[in-house]
């Protein structure tokens, strides 16, 4: 079993829809990261969380340390949000989930 | 633009060869991390340096080595290359050492081993 599990693996949405991507982990962590990888391959750090909730524009990330679970929400999704979203947990190193491929259609 | 630069962008080479990937961290960042992203394994941590010293090691093969120089740039050396080494290699940098640090990723080097 992977230490970091993401769901769903693939997600298709219509523009404007509310998106939720989930991440569960099985190890003790010091922080959790959400990353975005565009089709060209570049990786951008979206959030780093140790507790609670963070918001940046239309993106919201939450973490429940007791339940070892985090969610990434995208409100009013847009085609430019199409990317792979990767959850990574920080122990003495980053351990990555396999990613969620999101496609948003106009 | 994250401020992290990697060269080259693409590299095509043959099995058995040796290559060097280069990374320059963001100005002021002392930590450099190397990651490998392959189709079958996803993203994996390879190794981290902080201010010239090795700090953490992940799934890095013995054929691979890295170092961080006094000007803080880092190089990842891959030798006796195999077909399975074909992957995207990312470096990332952060200000501090290890945990609870936002990391800034470079654009990656795509290595193809033929």
pLDDT in tens, B2-27: 899 999 999 999 999 999 999 999 99
Tokens of B9: 């962008």
CA distance B59 to chain A (A): 11
Q: Tens of pLDDT along B79-90?
A: 999 999 999 999
- % pLDDT > 70, chain A: 99
User: Cβ–Cβ of B108/A86 closer than 8 Å?
Assistant: no
Check pLDDT > 80 for residue B93: yes
- SS (HEC) of B3-66: CCEEECCEEEECCCCCEEEEEECCCCCCEEEEEEEECCCEEEEEEEEECCEEEEECCCCCCEEE
User: Which range is least confidently modeled, A1-5, B30-34, B57-61, B80-84?
Assistant: A1-5
Give the one of B45, B103, B108 whose C-beta lies nearest to A41's C-beta. Answer: B108
Chain-chain contact of B105 with A45 (C-beta, under 8 angstroms): yes
Q: What is the pLDDT of residue A41?
A: 82
């Amino acid at each position: 079993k992977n230490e970091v599990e993401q769901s769903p693996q693939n997600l298709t949405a219509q523009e404007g829809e509310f998106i939720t991507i989930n991440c569960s982990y099985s190890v003790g962590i010091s922080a959790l990261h959400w990353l975005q990888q565009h089709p060209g391959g570049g990786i951008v750090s979206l959030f780093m969380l140790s507790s609670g909730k963070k918001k940046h524009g239309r993106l919201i990330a939450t973490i429940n340390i007791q339940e070892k679970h985090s969610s990434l929400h995208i409100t009013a999704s847009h085609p430019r949000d199409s990317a792979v979203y990767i959850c990574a947990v920080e122990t003495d190193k980053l351990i990555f989930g396999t990613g969620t491929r999101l496609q948003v259609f106009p | 633009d994250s401020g992290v630069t990697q060269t080259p962008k693409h590299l095509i080479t043959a099995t058995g060869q040796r290559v060097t990937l280069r990374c320059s961290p963001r100005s002021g960042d002392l930590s450099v991390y190397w990651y490998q992203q392959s189709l079958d394994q996803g993203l994996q941590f390879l190794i981290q340096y902080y201010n010239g010293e090795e700090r953490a090691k992940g799934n890095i093969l013995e054929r691979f080595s890295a170092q961080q120089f006094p000007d803080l740039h880092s190089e990842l050396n891959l030798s006796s290359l195999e077909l399975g080494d074909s992957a995207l290699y990312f470096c990332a940098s952060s200000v501090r050492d290890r945990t609870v640090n936002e990391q800034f990723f470079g654009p990656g080097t795509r290595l193809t081993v033929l």
